Structure formats: C-alpha cells, structure tokens
Amino acid sequence: MSIFEFVKSHVDIVDVVSTYVRLKKMGNYWKGSCPFHKENDASFTVSPDKQIFYCFGCHESGDLISFVAKHEALSPIESLSSLIEKYDLKIPQELLKESGKFNSNRQAHNAHFELSKLFAHYARTNLEKNPAALSYLEKRGVSKTQIERFCIGILPSGRASINGLVAHARKAGFLSKDLINAGILIESRSTTYSPFEDRILFPIRDISGKFVAFGGRVYQPRDTRPKYYNSKESECFLKRQLLFGIDLARPILQSTGIGYLVEGYLDCIAMSQYGYVGTVATLGTSCTDEHLKLLSRYIHTLFVVYDGDNAGTNAIIRLAERCWQTDIELQIITLPEGEDPASLLTSETPHKNIFKNTEHIFDFFVKSTGKGYLKKTLSQKIQTSKKIINLITKVTNPIKQDLLLQQAAQSMQVPFTSLKSTCTNPNTTQTTDVKTSAHNKVSLEEKIFFISLCGADAEKNVTDFIITEAVIQYFPKSWHNMLQLLLKMNVHEQGKAGVKKFLNTLTEKERNKVLLGLFKHEPETTPMHFKQLLSLLASKHWKEAISIMKNKVQIAQKQGDSKRVEQLLLAISKMNHMKQ
C-alpha cells in the first residue's frame, strides 16, 4: 500500500467533497452543483462505492486527492498532506519510510509555514507599539479591521529588534538558521540583519491561508531604500502562481463569480476595505497564465484595475494577447492619471463611478493598439494591423469577432470586408489568393453550409440562404443534425441572435467545427451564386446515387435477374430527371 492508498482508504470522498459542495443523495450517488464549471444543474456526481467523482457537464473526474488538488490549486503531494493534517491521520511508519521525499518535503514546508506565521504575528504585535507606522497606515486610509484581516505588521530596525525576534522564534523551537533559511534574516560577514527591518510588513498567504512569504514597504519619508522588498522565490513561494489576498477573497470569488485584480498590497487592501472584497493583487509581476488559471476555478469575470500610464497600457495589451485561452472574461478599469485604487477610494470626493466604467479587454486592445494609427508610418501601420488581426482571429465568437473587426476597420480607416478577409489568414496580405486557395480545399457541402450560416448572420436577404429539408438530404449524414437544427430553430429569421443560439445548442465538437469554418469562409456571396452551388450539390448527389444504381444493375445482369434490371433502369431514369 502506498501512502496515497492509505489516505484514500481512511478518508471518505463524500465527506471531503461535502465541505466544498452541497451534495444530495440520489440512489447510489451523491449529486451537486459542479465546483469546476458554472452551472445550475447538478451535473457533479460522487460515487461512494468507487470513491470517485465525475462531472457530466465539464467531464472533470478523479479521486479525493485530485479533487482537493484541483479545488485548492495544490499539487497531489500537497493535497495529500493537507488531507493528512485535516483528518489527523496517523501514517504507519513503514509508509512514511517509503515516501521519504514526501515526508521530508512536507516537514520542511510545514516548518516554513509555521515560522512564517510566527514572524507575521510577531510583526503584527510590534505594529501596536509603533506610532509612526500606525500613523502612516492611517494616512493611507488603512483601517484597523484591514490591519487585522491582512495581518499587517512591522519589524523595527536595530540589534535589539533582531535579537528579540530570534529569542521569540527560539521559544517555538526555531533556530536563527531557520530564520535565515526562510529569508527573514540575512547573515552577512559581520552581522545578521533583516531585509524587512523598518518596513511595513504584508504577509503573503497561499490559497489555503498558509503564510508563505512577505512584502515589506518603506514608510518613512527619509527612507531612500527601494520602496518594496519581497521574499525571494522558493518552492513555497512562486510569484507567477500566487496572488496576494486570494485566501481572503476566495469565498466571495466563489459565490459571486467576479473578481478584481490590482497591482499592489495597499491597492488590494483599499479595495477590500471599500467593499470590493473579491480583490487580489499580483506580486510585482504582471498577471500570468497561471494566475488566470487559478482564478478561473472560481470566477467567470475579472475586472483588471490598472494605471492609465504607458507601462500599464502595455501590460494590458500583453495580457490581451494571452487571455483568450482562459475561460475568464476580462474587463478593464482604467484609472485616471496619477491615481491608484487606494487614492481614488480614500479621497474626500471619491470618483467611485470609475469602477462602473469598464471596457472589455478586446475592445481595449483594439482601441489602444489602433490609437494614433493614421499618424503612423507605413511599416508601423502594417505591424499594428497584424497585431490587431492576430488577436481578433483568436476570438471564437463570430459575432464578437465581427464587432471587433468593425471597430478595428474604423480606427484604421480600411473597409470592413478587406479586414474580414485578412482575418482568415493574418500572415498574408494577398487576400484574394488566400480566398481561392482556401475555397479550393473545402468541400461543396461545407461551402454551402457556411454561406447559409453567414447569410443568417448578415441580416439581409436571409431567406435567400436557407437550406431546405430537401437540400439537407444531399448532405452526408454527419451534417444532418446541424442542418436540421439550423432549420428547426428558424435561425435565418432571427439573424445574429439566432446564430448565437444555434452555436450554443451544438455539441462542443460541432461548435468547434463551425467556429473554425467561420474563420475560413468568406460569407459574401450573391443569392444567385448560392443557388448555383445548391444545384451543383444536387447534381453531385444524384450522380453518386446513379453510379451506385448502375453498379447494382451490373450485379443484377450477372445474376440474370432481368426483372430487377428493369426496375433499376426505371429508377435511374427518374433520377436523371431529378438531376436536372
């Protein structure tokens, strides 16, 4: 038995899941609302017999260890160790020996968390005895409640302060060596000091509330050191994965599905203080894919609050280039120049309305990338349009894509249609060639289907582009379901909204196929051309049908079944009639 099996045999999955999801017993299973995707149905199913979970909506599945790992954004080892802790399991000695690495890692990590917690609370106590630091926080508008909530503290400077910390740690069984290993103290040739000395201390906790690292900010006006000092990265502290405030924000993120992202400790604290409890902050890095992935477990919409300066704009542009891969909708809140969330929310006449003016990240991207477009040189213009089109190509919603193209066309002052056709292949400027070569590769059926769909989308002459029940029969079976749906849902009568509804009704596989097709195809065609294509399809269908019949005639002839031959020939002549 491995240590994993031991834990699984001693802890019940229903018990574990119930602490996160409201489960109801139904027959042999327990069911609830899936914590991994947004839903109103109870697709999430737990089997107590098999000790596994499965979601019929998002197909997430696994055992209790992978459940905790996914839910808490932990590694399997970490989720194992959190279960051992939570259920206070006594692991048999021989299992511990086998998993030596797990054990020593776990012990080292736990010691790090413990020591960090001790340091945080020590600094928190010190803050009460430090009027200068308290008054600085007060000036910055940080309330007592927030000081408590975020466990804000201070480590005074000087020998006595360091000695005091070492003595305090020793009482809990830690040595100065441990403080040095944790990056709280630094040993130089002549002395031992702390990089956090005389800085306001912001403890950084991971998603489950464990203290992992610290940020220290200078607060005295005459202090000329760098404004911030953050703990060095370690196995327990990776900036690209961690978000400040995530442990406190999580419940509200989970219940509202909405979060706010800011850049600093004080911004995050101010947001939280003024009611934006679901706020997290990056730690001196820009927002990474890993941050988004972590947040996407809890929220569907993230409001990114950012500085309106150049650096801020560029950071958002970089984010836009990547964020289409996650499930999170990103909305941008631009702060007025010279303001930050803290200054804005704490000012006497707060412009709190700013938090109501949001802009979708793609709109923001197109607008700010296209800004000053007309004044750019030719090569700059080409660069810019490539950038914009590259991004728009990645937008999967065809309607959204068209809207963005319209906006881009406006800022670049180029016709919408030419931008749209470039969008099918951003690497080329020779759009006509692309069009023909792309169309040569696609089947007649595909061509007809997409003209029909884009026709419905175009809101003009929609009836000219309807595929009737009779035409559907000419399509291979694999298309029937989609086409019948298109017909049944009256998509052509409802325009864009109909297309949207149609897309939502498809299976994921079908939807991907359709969306991909919408990128490849040039929707513009005349009703006459469409009719020609339809008759081509009909004749193709009948040709194939006739050739099958002719084969049957040959077989019947060989068998000397003259009556059958006669019947088949009669049928063929009827088909020939249909063909025309």
Task: List residues near Zn ion by CB under 5 A.
Answer: 34, 36-37, 55, 57-58
Reference 123, options 172, 158, 176, 164; nearest CA is 164
* Residue placing its CB nearer to Zn ion in the complex, 37 or 435: 37
* Residue placing its CB nearer to Zn ion in the complex, 57 or 517: 57
HSE toward the beta carbon, residue 111, CA cutoff 13 A: 16
- CA dist 489 and 487 (Å) reads 6
* Residue placing its CB nearer to Zn ion in the complex, 61 or 135: 61
- Listed in sequence order, the residues at least 6 apart from 456 whose beta carbon sits closer than 8 Å to its beta carbon are 462, 465, 486, 491, 492, 494, 495, 498, 499
* Residue placing its CB nearer to Zn ion in the complex, 66 or 393: 66
Beta strands in 56-198 (DSSP E): 61-62, 153-154, 186-187, 192-193
HSE toward the beta carbon, residue 549, CA cutoff 13 A: 19
Nearest distance from residue 550's CB to Zn ion, in Å?
Answer: 52
Q: Supply the angle between the helices 378-394 and 310-323 in degrees, to the nearest 10.
A: 40
* Residue placing its CB nearer to Zn ion in the complex, 44 or 214: 44
Nearest distance from residue 34's CB to Zn ion, in Å?
Answer: 3
Nearest distance from residue 22's CB to Zn ion, in Å?
Answer: 15
- CA dist 343 and 350 (Å) reads 9
HSE toward the beta carbon, residue 528, CA cutoff 13 A: 0
84: enclosing H helix or E strand: helix 76-86
* Residue placing its CB nearer to Zn ion in the complex, 58 or 108: 58
Nearest distance from residue 69's CB to Zn ion, in Å?
Answer: 16
- Residue the block writes with tokens 């002052």: 413
- Listed in sequence order, the residues at least 6 apart from 240 whose beta carbon sits closer than 8 Å to its beta carbon are 285, 288, 290, 291
- On whether the CB atoms of residues 65 and 79 are closer than 8 A, the answer is yes
34: number of Cβ within 10 Å = 21
Alpha-helical runs (H) found in 297-397:
310-323, 341-346, 361-370, 378-394
Nearest distance from residue 78's CB to Zn ion, in Å?
Answer: 22
Residue 456 Ramachandran class (φ > 0 left, ψ -120 to 50 alpha, else beta)? alpha
* Residue placing its CB nearer to Zn ion in the complex, 67 or 150: 67
* Residue placing its CB nearer to Zn ion in the complex, 55 or 448: 55
Nearest distance from residue 39's CB to Zn ion, in Å?
Answer: 6
* Residue placing its CB nearer to Zn ion in the complex, 30 or 119: 30
Nearest distance from residue 21's CB to Zn ion, in Å?
Answer: 10
- CA dist 55 and 31 (Å) reads 9
Nearest distance from residue 60's CB to Zn ion, in Å?
Answer: 5
Nearest distance from residue 507's CB to Zn ion, in Å?
Answer: 16
